[in-house]
Amino acid sequence: MMETTSKDWRYTVMPAVFTWLKESESGALEIDFDETKRQAASVLKAQGKGGSRFGGLVASGTLGENSYLSPEQRLALLKSLSDVAKEAEVPLISGAAAETKEELAKIIEGLAAVGVDTVMVMPPKTKAAPSDEEMYAYYALAAATAKKVGVTIMPYNNPDAAGYHALSTDLLRKLSALPEVVALKISTLDVSIIETLIVENKDLKILAGVDSVTVHAGLAGACGGITGVGTIFPKASITMQEHVLKGEWAEANKISQALNSISYLDAQPLLLEYLKLAMGIHHNDTEGGLRTYGKKLTQQQIDDVRARYFLAKERLELLDLAD
C-alpha cells in the first residue's frame, strides 16, 4: 500500500501551521511573515522513523488565527507560504467559510490567485441550518469555481469544536462524487461516520481532522489526516501515520497514547490558543506562543497546557519521538 500511494499527499499527515505574530513599533500585533515561514519550512523537513515526510502544508485553515485576519492579511500570509510549499514540493491547503455561496466563490478565487492548491470548504456560516439542497448548491458552486480557477476542494465537516452545521452522511456521499472534490475532511470524535462512508465506497479519500482520534480514524478507513499537534511533534505524528498505513495498529496506538495529553487540546474550542502556546513552549518562545488575535488564556489554562505538553514530551522521549 505504501509504495503505490507514497506519491499521493492524501495518504500522509499534513501540519496545520500557526500564524506567528509580533508587536509592531506602535505595539499593535502584526503577522511575523519571516518566523511563520521559517517554522513552516522547518516542520516540512521533519521525517518519521520510516523516512517519510508531511505530504502537504495547511495554512490559515478555517479555525484559529485567520478568523481574525482581514482578507488582505490572509492572502498575503498564504502568498508567502506558497513559496515554502513549492520549495518542499507539497500542495498548499487552506480553508474557506462564508455565509453565501457567492461570497464563497470569491474567496476560492482569491485563494487560487495566491497559490493555494486545495481549499477546505466549511458549511455556510448561517444561523439557521441550510437544507441538504441548499448545502449541495453551496458546494456545487464551490466546485464549479474551483474548476474554473484550477484548484480542488475538500468539504470539511466539523460540527464539534467549530460549532459549524453538520454535513449529513448522505450529503457527504453526494459531495464526494463531484469531480473537483479530492477528499473529505472529517473532524469529529465520532469516527463511525468515516467507517459508514468507507463501507459503501472503499475508494473514498477521507482525511481525519482531530488529533485524539487519528489512529481510530485510520482504523475506520481514513487514508490521512491534518494535524495541529504534529506541528509541535512532527516526528511522532509522521511515524504514527507510517504505522497506520501499514496496519501496525499496536505501534500506532503506542504513539497515540504518548501524545494523548496534548492531542486532547485539539478537540477543544480554544485549540488554536492552546496548541500555539504548546508550540511556543517547545521552541522556548512562550511569549510568542501567547501572542494571538484570539482569546487571552488564563494562568490556569497556561499551566494546564504546560503540564500537558511536558507529559507528552516525556512519554515521546521513551519512544525516541520527542523532536
3-state secondary structure 154-166: EEEECCCCCCCCC
Q: What is the mean pLDDT of residues 214-242?
A: 97
pLDDT band at 240 (very low <50, low <70, confident <90, very high): very high
Q: Regarding predicted confidence, which is higher, 187 or 257?
A: 257
Half-sphere exposure of 150 (CA within 13 A, CB side): 5
Higher model confidence: residue 220 or residue 66? Answer: 220
Strand-pairing partners, residue 156, are 185
At 29-64, the pLDDT tens digits run 999 999 999 999 999 999 999 999 999 999 988 666
Euclidean distance between CA atoms 187 and 182, whole angstroms: 16
User: Looking at residue 291, what is its pLDDT?
Assistant: 92
Whether pTM exceeds 0.85: yes
Q: Give the pLDDT mean for 160-186.
A: 89
Is the per-residue pLDDT at 318 higher than 50? Answer: yes
Determine the pLDDT at residue 267.
86
User: What tens digit of pLDDT does each residue of 114-162 get?
Assistant: 999 999 999 988 888 889 899 999 999 999 999 999 999 999 988 765 5
The pLDDT of residue 5: 43
- Gap between the Cα atoms of 89 and 83, Å rounded: 10
Return mean pLDDT, the chain: 93
Average pLDDT over residues 180-206: 95
Look at 163 and 257; give whichever has higher pLDDT.
257
- Residue 255 amino acid letter: I
Q: Give the β-pairing of 29-31 and 152-157.
A: unpaired
Q: What is the pLDDT of residue 239?
A: 98
Q: What is the reported pLDDT for 163?
A: 64
| 256 and 215 Cβ atoms separated by less than 8 Å | yes
Say how far apart CA 233 and CA 273 lie, in whole Å.
17
